[in-house]
Amino acid sequence: MDPSQYSVVGIYRNDTEADFHLYLELIPEEVVLSPGHEIELLARPSPDLLPLHVCFVGDGLQIYAHKEGDPDWHVRFKGYVVKVGSPTFLCDLE
């Protein structure tokens, strides 16, 4: 399946004046949203994906899939679908 067809599991926008981090587990990956950035978080469909567990941390959110060990996280940012790395700085994609 092409990642652009993955399920949208969340929409996140940084309305603060500082960078905002999304920490994606169990395989540690991270997305850094600069002020004003908005993304759709995508994951490969799986019966073990949802519900997501979301926890606040000091500089963002920690997000876990329900039982899926590697959801193959991607983000859609400004029309582009990008594989999430460790870390992915969206400001580098502008």
Q: Give this prediction's pTM.
A: 0.94
pLDDT over 80 (residue 27): no
Cα separation, 19 vs 43, in Å, equals 23
Residue 79 structural domain: 3-93
Per the model's pLDDT, the better-predicted residue between 47 and 70 turns out to be: 47
SS3 state at 50: coil
pLDDT at position 57: 94
- pLDDT tens string 50-71: 999 999 999 999 999 999 988 9
Total domain count, the chain: 1
